[in-house]
Amino acid sequence: MLTKDIINVEKIRKDFPVLSTTMHKHPLAYLDNAATTQKPLVVIDRINRFLKEEYATVSRGVYILSQNATQECHEVREKCQKFLNAEKLEEIIFVRGTTEAINLVAASYGRKFLKSGDEIIISEIEHHANIVPWKRLSDEKGLVLKVIPVNDEGELILEEYKKMLTEKTKLVAVGHISNALGTVHPIKQIIKWAHEVGAKVLIDGAQGAPHTKVDVQELDCDFYCFSGHKIYGPTGIGILYGKYDLLDSMDPYQGGGEMIELVTFEKITYAKPPSRFEAGTIAIAEIVGLGPALDYIEKIGLEKIAAYEDELLRVATEKLKEMDDITLIGTAKEKAGIISFEMDEVHPHDIGTILDQEGVAIRTGHHCAQPTMKRFGVPATARASFSFYNNQQDLEALFRGLDKVREVFK
């Protein structure tokens, strides 16, 4: 049972319309928050109002609708700066999501500054979005890709990481929190050691930003990125933070409108960051929707959110450990609200299918982390991931659903 009165979860649940709906005639227990989060009314209503009454292009019109939309996007950029505690507003780049942010850095920083023989370090339990761009870049430029191993609990083996760091290490790219296991990585130490050998560091914050307070100046990371849809905002919008001097030294990721100062057939000069990396019309409505999402979680408080989600994780972990046929995959000492597990003689997809019929939404599969699955010798896992709007009833629905799986398959 949940024992800590940290937030008023029942009041919060009323802000999320989907949580009062049913799935297969059962109350919805939405436990796939690591994939994407549900949206509060303040986000839904703000996007609807903007599209109905305020929509216009940005940075291009002298008419009042355009000026207002431009100002709205500027204010959301300011909220993102505050959210990450970036030093400069110009260090906040609007992208489509974490995946595009990482690809942008690989293309604009990696292609320009890395050369054959240079080394990139990632970890064994990264999301594909933080593997594929670096593997492609390594193949293209003759780089060496090194991989930090993990122990049986799903924790990075820091001693091995430290051994990997040399003067040839030019970039370290690791996740803040593993999307497949929930492991919280010691990113501050990872960043410190990387900087000691002169390497730059990118942190994939897709799972980090929604669940813990991020201060990019305190961390001293060179790049940090997250996705709006995992933080109660819309899809199609994300943030790349980069130290300004780095961004200013990088070439554009894409060419088009707004990212230039001057275009002739003889010469092109590029705009300063952030415009340099925001070719074309930005995702205006999505940016507008991200603003109230950040306001919403700031109002609750990320410290309270983290504490409550830790309580959900504790209760779910204790209960699942009592089940003889359940094996937890990833048991790190420092974890966020993600549990991956197997059930004896039942494929994860079958677990997910039965749970769906019982009104419980979880993720099954490799979670876009195939090397993680290979490390733990499993083809896939079932994954329940928690948010501050989940309650005891959601957990009970999960446990009852697993009982139903046993009835069907055993």
- Domain boundaries along the sequence of the chain: 9-30+301-409, 45-299
**CB of 39 within 8 A of CB of 234?**
yes
Task: Return the bridge partners of 226, or none.
Answer: 239
Q: Is pLDDT of 2 > 90?
A: no
Query: What is residue 258's predicted lDDT score, i.e. its pLDDT?
Result: 87
Compute CA distances 229 → 97, 102, 182, 268, 310, whole Å: 8, 16, 18, 35, 21
Which tens digit of pLDDT belongs to each residue from 64-110?
999 999 999 999 999 999 999 999 999 999 999 999 999 999 999 99
Average pLDDT value for residue range 188-209: 98
Percentage of residues of the chain with pLDDT beyond 70: 100
Burial class (CB in 10 A: 0-12, 13-18, 19+), 21: exposed
Q: Tokens at residue 82, please?
A: 């505050």
**CATH architecture label of 9-30+301-409:** Alpha-Beta Complex (3.90)
Phi and psi of 144, rounded to 5°?
Answer: -105, 120
Average pLDDT value for residue range 5-18: 95
pLDDT range class, residue 5, cuts 50, 70, 90: confident
Query: What is residue 1's predicted lDDT score, i.e. its pLDDT?
Result: 74
Q: Is pLDDT of 60 > 80?
A: no
Which tens digit of pLDDT belongs to each residue from 311-356?
999 999 999 999 999 999 999 999 999 999 999 999 999 999 999 9
Residue with tokens 């790049």: 223
Query: What is residue 136's predicted lDDT score, i.e. its pLDDT?
Result: 98
- 229: amino acid identity, one letter: H
**CB of 216 within 8 A of CB of 88?**
no
Which tens digit of pLDDT belongs to each residue from 244-298?
999 999 999 999 988 988 999 999 999 999 999 999 999 999 999 999 999 999 9
Query: What is residue 28's predicted lDDT score, i.e. its pLDDT?
Result: 98
Which tens digit of pLDDT belongs to each residue from 351-402?
999 999 999 999 999 999 999 999 999 999 999 999 999 999 999 999 999 9
How many C-beta atoms lie closer than 10 Å to residue 277's C-beta? 24
Of residues 73, 80, 225, 368, which has the active-site annotation? 368
Strands (E), 108-213: 119-123, 144-148, 169-175, 200-204
Gap between the Cα atoms of 22 and 20, Å rounded: 7
Query: What is residue 121's predicted lDDT score, i.e. its pLDDT?
Result: 98
Gap between the Cα atoms of 364 and 384, Å rounded: 9
Query: What is residue 4's predicted lDDT score, i.e. its pLDDT?
Result: 66
Give the mean pLDDT of the chain: 97
Query: What is residue 361's predicted lDDT score, i.e. its pLDDT?
Result: 98
**CB of 82 within 8 A of CB of 75?**
no
Task: Name the pairing type of β-strands 363-365 and 381-385.
Answer: antiparallel
The answer to pTM > 0.75 is yes
221 is catalytic: no
Average pLDDT value for residue range 147-171: 98
Which tens digit of pLDDT belongs to each residue from 30-46?
999 999 999 999 999 99
Does the domain made of 45-299 have the CATH classification 3.40.640.10? Answer: yes
